[in-house]
């Protein structure tokens, strides 16, 4: 009897959650949500399965997720296996001809297809591409000292719109093409920001390993304007690895993305919490 009551209570809770989520599902109906999935968020099969289930649920609710992924830890692992040493400038990897071959192999091959398989395994219809496909990301060299590292100049999102229209979930590896046919390695956050801007996305979700942007007391700031972000950077409160993420967010909102959320991708159901609940997750940045 007690077990039966417990099950009924769980069912009522589930029904209440779904009912409360309805206004948010209506708000995001038909919207495009670009999600940057970092390499650390793919560290376990359980985390990948949970993320995939969330993405499939979003698509079931007529939200259009577009996944842009990284893969730094996997690239490091493969370079080590192949005895290819990496050199860095200010923490940025120099990408030479040998390194870009490994980067493309890992990102477009192992990592991209693992995400596609996870989403399809949960009942979704994911398709893996890279920024080289259909001239999605056309780049110039970011810095000659860094070698084959690209900075997106033109985003042709035609192929992404086509996949969305066919009910697919695009999964994009952050590679780009140069005007002379070069393959460029593109920072994952940078690629996600450029693609979100090209799609005029409703949201760009940057999944990280921290809760969000924090104030001087270490508390997460749930909502910020672009001016507030600039002030926090100038005052040294936003520092280290959070600077490039907030700069990506600022560039995205200026380029037409409605809002960017920096959030902890290791939190279970993080994307659903952000989109379909009152309190959301992480720090939202708007223009």
- pLDDT tens by residue, 254-264: 999 999 999 98
Distance (Å, whole) CA 110 – CA 107: 6
Distance CA(136)–CA(117), nearest Å, equals: 22
- What band does 87 get if pLDDT is binned at 50, 70 and 90? confident
Fold of 29-286: Carbamate kinase (3.40.1160)
pLDDT of residue 100: 96
Q: Is-contact 261 282, C-beta < 8 A?
A: yes
Choice between 90 and 112, residue whose per-residue pLDDT is larger: 112
Indicate the pairing of strand 283-286 with strand 223-225.
parallel
Q: What is the mean pLDDT of the chain?
A: 91
Tokens representing 208 are: 């990280």
Check whether 9 has a pLDDT greater than 70.
no
> For the chain, what percent of residues have pLDDT higher than 90?
71
Is residue 111 classed as helix, strand or coil in its secondary structure? helix
Give the model's confidence band at 40: pLDDT under 50 very low, under 70 low, under 90 confident, else very high. Answer: low
Tokens 């698509």 correspond to what residue? 59
Whether 8 has a pLDDT exceeding 70, the answer reads no
Residue 68 · residue 135 · CB < 8 Å: no
Higher pLDDT, 172 or 244: 172
Contact indicator for 199, 32 with CB cutoff of 8 Å: yes
**pLDDT band of 1, cuts 50, 70, 90:** very low
pLDDT of residue 93: 82
User: What pLDDT does residue 37 have?
Assistant: 94
Q: Which residues are tagged catalytic?
A: 36, 39, 72, 189, 245
């Amino acid at each position: 009897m007690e077990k039966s009551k417990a099950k009924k209570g769980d069912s009522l809770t589930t029904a209440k959650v779904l009912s409360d989520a309805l206004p948010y599902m209506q708000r995001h109906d038909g919207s495009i949500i670009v999600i940057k999935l970092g390499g650390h968020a793919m560290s376990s099969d359980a985390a990948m399965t949970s993320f995939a289930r969330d993405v499939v649920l979003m698509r079931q609710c007529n939200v259009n997720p577009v996944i842009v992924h990284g893969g730094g830890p996997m690239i490091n692992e493969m370079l080590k296996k192949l005895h290819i040493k990496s050199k860095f400038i200010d923490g940025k990897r120099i990408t030479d001809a040998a390194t870009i071959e490994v980067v493309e192999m890992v990102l477009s091959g192992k990592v991209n297809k693992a995400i596609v398989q996870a989403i399809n395994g949960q009942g979704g219809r994911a398709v893996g591409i890279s920024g080289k496909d259909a001239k999605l990301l056309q780049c110039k060299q970011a810095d000659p000292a860094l070698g084959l590292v690209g900075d997106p100049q033109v985003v042709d999102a035609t192929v992404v719109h086509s996949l969305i229209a066919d009910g697919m979930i695009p999964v994009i590896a952050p590679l780009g093409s140069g005007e002379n046919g070069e393959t460029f390695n593109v920072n994952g956050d940078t690629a996600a920001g450029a693609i979100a801007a090209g799609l005029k996305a409703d949201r760009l979700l940057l999944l990280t390993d921290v809760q969000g942007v924090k104030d001087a007391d270490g508390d997460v700031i749930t909502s910020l304007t672009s001016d507030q972000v600039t002030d926090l950077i100038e005052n040294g409160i936003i520092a280290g690895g959070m600077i490039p993420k907030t700069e990506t967010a600022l560039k995205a909102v200026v380029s037409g993305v409605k809002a960017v959320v920096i959030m902890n991708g290791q939190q279970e159901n993080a994307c659903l919490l952000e989109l379909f609940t009152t309190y959301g997750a992480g720090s939202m940045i708007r223009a």
